[in-house]
Structure 1
Amino acid sequence: MRKDIAKGADEIVAMQRALAPVEDGDLKRSISWTFGEAPPTRATGAPRIKRSTFVPGDNDIRATIYAGDDVAFYARWVEFGTAPHSLAKGADRTRNKLQDVGGWHPGARPRPFFFTPYRTLKKRVVSRISRGIRKAARKVARS
């Protein structure tokens, strides 16, 4: 079962990397997977996009696919986009004098690279794992 989970996670990660927008390659390099929980980011504790899949509960056979790290901390912003916002330090979302000091960012459109491949390939991967489980159960039953 671990082999089928690993094969499925590799397949999803490969598609995510192919769809990730590339400026300097940091975002693409931050996309990976592991059995169990995703490793913590280093110093900044930058938020990650992550999705655990395949086998709920047991950490030993659960794959977690993740994107974003201390360098590619902007993974969520790329996936979901951003609303227009001020660049001034301490400004809120409403237009005020403080916001005009730092400039105004028009926001960014979403460029999904993470959840689209996950949703597209999940059914295939789960089917592969189920077939592997049935095959192993038949093998054990025969012996």
Structure 2
Amino acid sequence: MSGFRKGDRERARAMFKALPKDIRKGIRDALNKNGSELSEAIRRRVPKDTGALAESVGYAFGDAPATSATQAFRAKGSNPADPELTVTVFEGNNEAFYAGWVEYGTAPSVSGQRVGARNSDIKQNKGSGRQSYRTHPGTPAQPHFWPTYRSMKRRMKSRLSRAVGLAIRKALK
């Protein structure tokens, strides 16, 4: 059970859309600061080899920019129905397509098929009698995105709550 009654989601979306511009601006400023701070913290924790993955970390209002790489990591802000009040923190682009492999690691694999075997499609010029197998040692996980998000979640939520409260108090004066 989600804890919501029928129609709550639609009412909440209508309320967000009906917010005065002053309140929306206060929420947007807090979301902007949260997105900026989180993307910078992730960028500092990214394992740096070529630096392409660290350069690909960013944030945007609404959805992440379209790239040919799969945007696997998204941390949404307050209201996905309203792109103006939604922040997406992302990493990975066409150059740094391996973001998920770095975050979660890869499994080691050894294929039982011999490279260069008679009925194999894979040929290898290694000389006669030498057996070689396709292997991949795997890579260990180097978590950086989600641990950073979880460590900053409480602070970002508090900032957003304060901004909403302050904006509402200003609007009621």
The range that moved more, 54-63 or 128-137, is: 54-63
Q: Are 2:61 and 1:35 equivalent residues in the alignment?
A: yes
Query: Where does structure 2 lack aligned partners over 5 or more consecutive residues?
Result: 1-26, 116-121, 123-130
TM-score, normalization by structure 2: 0.71
User: What corresponds to 2:158 in structure 1?
Assistant: 127
Taking structure 1 as the reference length, the TM-score comes to: 0.84
How many aligned positions are there? 132
Give 3-state SS (helix, strand or coil) of 2:112's partner: coil
Task: Please report how far the alpha carbon of residue 60 of structure 1 lies from its aligned counterpart in structure 2 after TM superposition.
Answer: 1.1
Aligned to 1:73: 97
Q: Supply the distance in 2 between the matched residues of 1:69 and 1:52 (Cα, whole angstroms).
A: 16
Instruction: State the Cα distance separating 1:50 from its structure 2 match.
Output: 2.2
For structure 1, the 5+ residue unaligned runs are 87-93
Structure 1's consecutive aligned runs of 4 or more residues displaced over 4 angstroms after TM superposition are 98-102
- Greater CA drift, 75-84 or 50-59: 50-59
Among candidates 91, 114, 134, match of residue 97 of structure 1: 114
What is the identity percentage for the equivalent residue pairs of Structure 1 and Structure 2?
34
For residues 94-136 of structure 1, the C-alpha deviation after alignment (integer angstroms, 9 at most, x for no partner) is 5333598673111000001111111111111111011011011
| Secondary structure of the structure 2 residue equivalent to 1:127 | helix
Aligned AA for 1:124? R
Task: Give the match for residue 87 of structure 2.
Answer: 63
Aligned partner of 1:113 in structure 2 is 144
Distance 2:92 2:132 in 1: 30
Instruction: Measure, in 1, the Cα distance between the counterparts of 2:59 and 2:133.
Output: 38
The amino acid that maps onto 1:107 is G
- Report the Cα distance in structure 2 between the residues aligned to 1:31 and 1:62, rounded to whole angstroms: 17
Q: 1:53 aligns with which of 76, 86, 92?
A: 76
Does the 8 Å contact 1:52/1:62 carry over to 2? no
